[in-house]
Structure 1
Amino acid sequence: MAAAPLLLAACSTPVVPRPSPSAPAPSAQPRMAPVVPVEAEPTAPATQPAINFIAATSGPVAAALAYADKVRPLGQPELASEINRLGEPGEVPLTQMQLALALAQTRVPADLARAQGLMQRVASSTVSEAQQLAPLARTLAARYGEQRRLEEEREKQAQQLRESQRRIDQLSDRLEALRAIERSFTRPSNHPPAPSAPPPANGAKP
């Protein structure tokens, strides 16, 4: 009779089944994050879309510096093609600065003078984009002016040197002509000397 309550309690306890050792435990699968495309900077050399991209993302000054770095190693044919592509810049400050940077690389005095004028236009413009470029434009305009003065001074010195060399060549020719005349005077004659006349006899008049 005393064991009856124990039997009833054992029968009322729920039995929890053990997991089978052969069944693997479910593993949590990692969720992949969605891939978001990132817009990359164009790598086209010295093209207007690339410069516009930099200007839109980093400002006109960064775009101008990037353009200057791209046109610096270009040769004369590439520079001529780039200048033709830019054409007339109109009143767009960034395009004016681009054209000035390309013209300054040609080593032509007339192109350098035009580049200085374009930089001065950017520096004096009241457009908002030009106001951001104004400090750089003033610096480059002053640099181009100094470069023009140095090149003009160098050309003047080269001209003076050519004139001095021309005078030296003329003096050398004259000196050589005088030496030739002097040699002709001191050259021995091929004819034998004429016999001298006999002295007059005593009392005879010569």
Structure 2
Amino acid sequence: MTALPLVLAACVTQAPPPQVALPPPAVAPLAQTPITHVSPQDEAAPLLAYHQSLRRMAQGELLKELSGLSLQQATPKLSLQIGMILMLTRGSGDLARAQAQFDSVATSGEPAAQSLKPLAQLLSSHCAEARRLSEHNEKLSTQLKENQRKTEQLNDMLEGLKAIERNLPVRPPPQSSAQGGR
């Protein structure tokens, strides 16, 4: 029986040695290359500078500039320039005409208009807002004039009532009850 424990010990399997966790292999960092966007020629910057120069012009100069541009061949850039001038002249219907110029560029299928579309949309929405505010201003101005007219009428009525009151005969003071008691 002494051999039995040896035989049983030979049948028992030994536990596998513990696994040693190896660190993950080092990953070489990727070289960070700056992302450069290749964009078409920036046509908005010169137009924004043009708009700033227009803002410094007097009405006569703006009209002269507008007449000079209207003689040139129509391009999307020219349409934006004309619209910018019309935004500043503020003549009757000029904002609507400016918005029409901007909308024509924003909806154009011409390749030359593609880079100008965001600017055209921005200017068109600016014109729409300016037109809305102008119409609201006219409405408020009309209401103000109507209220001033009504105020003048009420003041005239009040002055008339005061004049009538001044012309009324003065009432005698009421007699006291002590004299009337006899």
Does the 8 Å CA contact 1:89/1:96 hold for their aligned counterparts? no
The aligned counterpart of 1:103 is 86
Structure 1 distance, partners of 2:58, 2:64, is 10
The aligned counterpart of 2:75 is 92
Query: Secondary structure of the residue that 1:105 maps to in structure 2?
Result: helix
- Amino acid paired to 2:155: S
After superposition, what is the alpha-carbon deviation per residue over 1:177-203, rounded to whole angstroms, capped at 9, x for unaligned? Answer: 121122122379xxxxxxxxxxxxxxx
The aligned counterpart of 2:9 is none
The aligned counterpart of 1:156 is 139
Deviation (angstroms), 1:60: 3.0
After superposition, what is the alpha-carbon deviation per residue over 1:80-115, rounded to whole angstroms, capped at 9, x for unaligned? Answer: 111122226664111111000011012335111111
Deviation (angstroms), 1:78: 1.1
The aligned counterpart of 1:73 is 56
Deviates more, 1:67-76 or 1:161-170: 67-76
After superposition, what is the alpha-carbon deviation per residue over 1:115-152, rounded to whole angstroms, capped at 9, x for unaligned? Answer: 11100001011111111100100011011111111121
Query: Secondary structure of the residue that 2:89 maps to in structure 1?
Result: coil
Q: Residue 122 of structure 1 is aligned with which of 105, 127, 132? A: 105
User: 1:186 and 2:169 equivalent?
Assistant: yes
CA RMSD of aligned residues (A): 2.0
Structure 1 distance, partners of 2:101, 2:109, is 14
Structure 1 distance, partners of 2:111, 2:78, is 14
The aligned counterpart of 1:146 is 129
- Amino acid paired to 2:113: A
Does the 8 Å CA contact 1:90/1:96 hold for their aligned counterparts? no
- Amino acid paired to 2:62: L
Structure 2 distance, partners of 1:159, 1:145, is 21
- Amino acid paired to 1:137: A
Q: Which has the larger radius of gyration?
A: 1
Q: Which runs of 5+ in 2 are unaligned?
A: 1-40, 172-182
Does the 8 Å CA contact 1:109/1:148 hold for their aligned counterparts? no
Structure 2 distance, partners of 1:105, 1:167, is 36
The aligned counterpart of 1:137 is 120
Q: Which runs of 5+ in 1 are unaligned?
A: 1-57, 189-206
Structure 1 distance, partners of 2:170, 2:67, is 70
The aligned counterpart of 2:157 is 174
Does the 8 Å CA contact 1:89/1:99 hold for their aligned counterparts? no
Higher relative contact order (CA 8 A, sep 6+): 2
Q: Residue 61 of structure 1 is aligned with which of 44, 53, 56? A: 44
Query: Secondary structure of the residue that 2:93 maps to in structure 1?
Result: helix
TM-score normalized by the length of structure 1: 0.58
Cα 1:180–1:90, aligned 2, differ >3 Å: closer, same or farther?
farther
